């Protein structure tokens, strides 16, 4: 009897617990629903449980598919990639709001597992949250890299490196007949430009063993950082354990690169004397206790990644467009000959006198934006954007390529036509939100002050010295692009015939 009684009490207790649990879950769901209904979230495709919209974007989020998305959902659209909210911004008005008007609110960076590892959770500059540390890093890097004075001090070195690269390319077998692939030599040129500015060092050639080691480490790091693998851990954190070997590889490779940069370059520089350049300013800041030595290494790593490949990829796109548009190449050459005189190599101060060259560079940056969705921003707090509520921690993708190639803002955007920038004096300095290849506002690219003249110098000198032609039997070089998580790159290295001009 006693047993039956206690059984009944047990049963009623457990059903009470069950009912309370169900009620509790119901209340939680109701609260969430009410919160959701009270929030006015941006529109977006219906998200599936757990995976969200991920399956709709299996190949990754790229500027083309995001431009399509904007046609359906408008200029502010919310995606749910697994558990990660991604906000896509697709109009000049909304880009201005995110990058400028509410630049503080949207001024942090969306990192992920990989970038947390490679940047010490944002102890660098590029992936730092908006705040004191980022401001300090940006100030420290500005003095030795991002001023007009630095451009004037460094430009002779740039011109020298460009000249050496073109002379080497001229000597490559097949240069005037079957064609050559200049990319590797131009890459060395960019490394030399940047390493001279950072360490007053240059590599003697493609076979310099130090260069070989650096390239191997950088290639490996780039491959891992552009991989789509980490999305699994980023979008669905419970998948993280399955990425253990990939993440270990990321960690090991990054440690090797940081150690290499420290031993082969930073420590070697400490022993040198003479005029202060590049990293000396970073080291001074470290000695004053402003930043750790680790942050010095992260800054060096930032320069490595942000400066070299971006400018190289843009140069490659430029060469491909010059080959495919012979009339534009001729027009550019005529401008150079008329303004500077035949056989007078262009120098940095000349760029300002050459409107067509400037227009050509802008058109490359418009049509082939190498960081097409900018470096993802993030809002640390919940904010309003236009009429929408944006939850905290969204990854913000500003589709800068989509805006700069949208027929609503540009006439025949898919035609490569530098003349559009002659008629319309739009600058890539972030003041016109139809054209923001370097972003705009607080987190915009500080390196544009270097990249724009270098692009003008390389393309200008190429056209002055050579006729750039497609290989025999080929009409046009292929312009297909491949995208990683951040960059948009020419899929196939262009082969080019370079006929020296008799000037
Ligand atoms: C054609 C060449 C280049 C292009 C297209 C480019 C583009 C960009 C873009 C789109 C951003 C992100 C802007 C944003 O998120 O709002 C950026 C950031 C950055 N770029 Fe560049 N860049 C180029 C060259 C350079 C060079 C030469 C340097 C250095 C010497 C450099 C250093 C940086 C740094 C440090 C940042 C991060 C800024 C921050 O987070 O505060 N870039 N770049």
Q: Fill in the DSSP letter of residue 98.
A: I
pTM reported for the whole predicted model? 0.91
Q: Fill in the DSSP letter of residue 413.
A: T
- Whole-number pLDDT of residue 3: 55
Ligand 1: which residue has its CA nearest to atom 42? 447
Q: What is the pLDDT of residues 408-461, one digit of tens each?
A: 999 999 999 999 999 998 999 999 999 999 999 999 999 999 999 999 999 999
| Concatenated DSSP letters of 375-409 | SPEE-SS-EEETTEEE-TT-EEEE-HHHHHT-TTT
Element (H, E) at 467: strand 466-469
How many CA within 13 A on the CB side of residue 1?
0
The pair of structure tokens assigned to 155 is 């430009």
Contacts of residue 200, Cβ cutoff 8 Å, sequence gap at least 6: 269, 272, 274, 277, 278
The answer to whether 445 is annotated as binding is yes
* Fold designation for 62-500: Cytochrome p450 (1.10.630)
Q: What is the Å distance from ligand 1's center to 21 Cα?
A: 52
Contact 112, 375 (CB under 8 A): no
pLDDT beneath 70, residues of the chain:
1-14, 21-22, 24-37, 484-486
Question: Measured between alpha carbons, how far is 336 from 358 in angstroms, rounded to an integer?
Answer: 12
Per the DSSP assignment, residues forming a β-bridge with 213 are: none
Contact 463, 333 (CB under 8 A): yes
How many whole angstroms from its chain centre is CA 307? 10
SS3 92: helix
- Whole-number pLDDT of residue 326: 97
Ligand 1: which residue has its CA nearest to atom 35? 126
- Whole-number pLDDT of residue 317: 96
Question: Measured between alpha carbons, how far is 323 from 472 in angstroms, rounded to an integer?
Answer: 12
Residue of 298, 302, 438, 442 to test ligand 1 pocket, by largest number of atoms within 8 Å of CB? 438
Question: Measured between alpha carbons, how far is 138 from 135 in angstroms, rounded to an integer?
Answer: 5
- Whole-number pLDDT of residue 22: 66
Per the DSSP assignment, residues forming a β-bridge with 89 are: 76, 398
Q: What is the pLDDT of residues 472-493, one digit of tens each?
A: 888 888 888 887 556 777 777 8
Q: What is the Å distance from ligand 1's center to 39 Cα?
A: 34
- Whole-number pLDDT of residue 4: 57
The pair of structure tokens assigned to 367 is 């049509």
CA nearest neighbour of 88 among 389, 394, 441, 438: 394
Ligand 1: which residue has its CA nearest to atom 20? 445
The pair of structure tokens assigned to 267 is 């420590």
Tokens 């991604």 found at: 86
The pair of structure tokens assigned to 34 is 């009410």
């Amino acid at each position: 009897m006693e047993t039956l009684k206690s059984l009944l009490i047990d049963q009623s207790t457990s059903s009470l617990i069950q009912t309370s649990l169900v009620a509790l879950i119901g209340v939680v769901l109701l609260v969430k629903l009410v919160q959701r209904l009270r929030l006015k979230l941006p529109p977006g495709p219906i998200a599936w449980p757990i995976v969200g919209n991920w399956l709709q974007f299996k190949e990754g989020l790229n500027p083309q598919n995001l431009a399509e998305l904007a046609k359906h959902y408008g200029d502010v659209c919310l995606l749910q990639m697994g558990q990660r909210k991604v906000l896509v911004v697709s109009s000049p008005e909304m880009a201005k709001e995110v990058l400028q008007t509410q630049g503080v609110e949207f001024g942090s960076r969306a990192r992920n597992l990989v970038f947390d590892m490679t940047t010490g959770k944002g102890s660098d500059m590029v992936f730092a949250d908006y705040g004191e540390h980022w401001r300090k890093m940006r100030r420290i890097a500005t003095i030795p890299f991002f001023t007009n004075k630095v451009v004037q001090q460094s430009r002779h070195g740039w011109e020298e490196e460009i000249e050496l690269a073109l002379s080497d390319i001229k000597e490559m077998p097949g240069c005037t007949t079957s064609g050559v692939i200049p990319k590797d030599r131009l890459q060395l040129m960019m490394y030399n430009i940047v390493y001279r500015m950072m360490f007053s060092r240059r590599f003697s050639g493609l076979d310099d063993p130090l260069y070989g080691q650096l390239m191997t480490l950088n290639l490996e790091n780039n491959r891992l950082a552009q991989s789509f693998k980490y999305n699994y851990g980023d979008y669905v954190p419970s998948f993280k354990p399955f990425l253990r070997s990939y993440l270990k590889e990321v960690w090991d490779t990054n440690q090797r690169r940081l150690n290499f940069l420290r031993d082969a370059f930073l420590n070697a520089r400490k022993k040198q004397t003479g005029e202060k350049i590049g990293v000396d300013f970073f080291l001074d800041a470290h000695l004053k206790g402003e930043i750790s030595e680790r942050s010095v290494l992260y800054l060096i790593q930032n320069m490595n990644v942000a400066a070299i490949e971006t400018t190289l990829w843009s140069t490659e796109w430029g060469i491909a467009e010059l080959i495919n548009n012979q009339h534009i190449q001729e027009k550019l050459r005529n401008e150079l000959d008329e303004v500077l005189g035949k056989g007078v190599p262009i120098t940095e101060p000349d760029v300002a006198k050459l409107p067509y060259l400037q227009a050509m560079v802008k058109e490359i940056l418009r049509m082939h934006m190498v960081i097409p969705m900018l470096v993802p921003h993030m809002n640390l707090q919940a904010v309003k954007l236009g009429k929408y509520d944006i939850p905290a921690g969204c990854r913000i993708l500003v589709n800068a390529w989509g805006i700069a190639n949208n027929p609503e803002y540009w006439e025949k955007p898919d035609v490569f036509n530098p003349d559009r920038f002659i008629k319309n004096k739009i600058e890539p300095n972030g003041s016109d939100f139809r054209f923001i290849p370097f972003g705009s506002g607080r987190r915009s690219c500080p390196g544009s002050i270097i990249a724009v003249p270098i692009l003008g110098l390389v393309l200008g000198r190429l056209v002055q010295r050579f006729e750039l032609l497609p290989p025999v039997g080929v009409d046009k070089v292929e312009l297909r692009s491949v995208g990683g998580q951040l960059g948009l790159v020419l899929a196939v290295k262009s082969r080019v015939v370079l006929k020296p001009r008799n000037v």
